[in-house]
């Protein structure tokens, strides 16, 4: 959830997860993608982005980078100085500002660099007994698949698990996720495979696990405006039954928005920054509800807790959840990319052969 998963929203999601079951912890909540170079250069913004929710049972960080030595140093700092307990390496990002530098979803094409990064990260995390996982995609496009090589190299490198977003980089977030690819990878490797893609409701998670044999699921866009998906998912994982009868009313959603606002103000230290961050969530929270254009517009520019309270009081709290919004995509979708942006000649060889890649600090956040 690039640009969304600050500690405030992660806490709200965790609170929802823990409200639905006695299981603790109810999942692992990680930060948005940050650059390894930002950690090594000790950039304040980077450290702020990786800040944990104090209530998280597992302090998890998602790293991006293309230089094995920089990633190793970042892992050592994160684990040794910051107390990180789980490192996830992102090889799934399809954003051009990342792929044009050979990072994200296109990096596994270069088998030597990919393997070097994984072994370096695992070696750096080993003294702290911290597991390293990765996230990747099916491949760059249908003609340049990488997931099977990524799975094999992950096993050989000591990676603890692999999350597969069942789309190619070319697809980005368009079209349907191809869950059959998750099943293919899960059947080929001995390490846990976590499925990702098109999980909009708890029922989707159960269906993915049943159809693919994956060990678990990863939620991204499905959590936008739906923190209760983690409550439903926690209940489903315990009971084996997808709960669809406890959908929140408009009033209950409003209560979650108010709680989210409180956590944001606490996180940022002032209402102005907290409300500014909250605004982007409003359309996701109230998608499908009959609020009216004027109220929606005012929620989209809210600037204080007092104003928020007034706006939320105008909502018909008894309005039931719009069931037609179940399984409704949220967040980025768009169309497949006409062309994946990559360094010149990237596809001509599966090896990087020592060539240098330049990480961009602006790439963090996805």
User: Could you list the active site residues?
Assistant: 93
Largest pairwise CA distance in the chain: 63
- Cβ–Cβ < 8 Å for 130, 84: yes
- What backbone phi and psi angles, to 5 degrees, belong to 106? -95, -15
CA distance 106 to 115: 14
Per-residue tokens: 82: 């910051």
Q: Would you tell me the crossing angle of helices 271-279 and 250-268 to the nearest 10 degrees?
A: 130
Select from 156, 133, 136 the least CA-distant residue to 147: 136
The DSSP secondary-structure symbol of 218 reads: E
Please state, in angstroms and as integers, the Cα–Cα distance from residue 26 to each residue in 11, 20, 48, 306, following that order. 12, 9, 24, 33
For residue 91, give the 3-state DSSP assignment.
strand
Q: Which helix (H) or strand (E) holds 306?
A: helix 305-313
């Amino acid at each position: 959830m690039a640009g969304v998963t600050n500690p405030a929203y992660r806490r709200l999601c965790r609170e929802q997860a823990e409200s639905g079951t006695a299981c603790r912890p109810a999942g692992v909540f990680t930060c948005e993608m940050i650059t390894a170079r930002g950690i090594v250069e000790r950039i304040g913004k980077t450290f702020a982005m990786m800040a944990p929710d104090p209530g998280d049972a597992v302090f998890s960080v998602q790293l991006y980078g293309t230089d094995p030595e920089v990633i190793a140093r970042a892992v050592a700092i994160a684990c040794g100085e910051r107390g990180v307990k789980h490192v996830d390496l992102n090889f799934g990002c399809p954003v051009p500002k990342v792929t044009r530098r050979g990072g994200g979803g296109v990096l596994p094409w270069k088998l030597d660099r990919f393997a070097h990064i994984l072994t370096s990260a695992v070696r750096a995390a080993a003294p702290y007994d911290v597991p390293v996982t990765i996230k990747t995609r099916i491949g760059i496009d249908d003609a340049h698949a990488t997931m099977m090589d990524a799975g094999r190299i992950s096993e050989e490198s000591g990676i603890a698990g692999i999350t597969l977003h069942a789309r190619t980089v070319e697809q980005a977030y368009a079209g349907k996720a191809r869950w059959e690819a998750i099943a293919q990878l899960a059947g080929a490797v001995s390490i846990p495979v976590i499925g990702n893609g098109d999980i909009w409701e708890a029922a989707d998670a159960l269906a993915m696990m049943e159809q693919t044999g994956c060990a678990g699921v990863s939620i991204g866009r499905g959590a936008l405006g739906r923190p209760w998906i983690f409550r439903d998912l926690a209940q489903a994982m315990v009971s084996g039954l997808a709960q669809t009868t406890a959908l929140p009313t408009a009033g209950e959603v409003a209560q979650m928005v108010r709680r989210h606002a409180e956590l944001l103000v606490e996180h940022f230290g002032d209402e102005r920054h907290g409300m500014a961050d909250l605004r982007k969530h409003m359309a996701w929270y109230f998608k499908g509800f009959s609020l009216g254009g004027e109220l929606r517009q005012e929620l989209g520019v809210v600037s204080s807790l007092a104003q928020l309270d007034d706006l939320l009081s105008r909502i018909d709290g008894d309005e039931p959840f719009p069931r037609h919004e179940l399984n409704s995509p949220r967040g980025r979708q768009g169309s497949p990319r006409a062309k994946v942006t990559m360094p010149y000649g990237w596809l001509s060889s599966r090896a990087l052969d020592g060539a240098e890649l330049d990480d961009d600090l602006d790439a963090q956040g996805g």
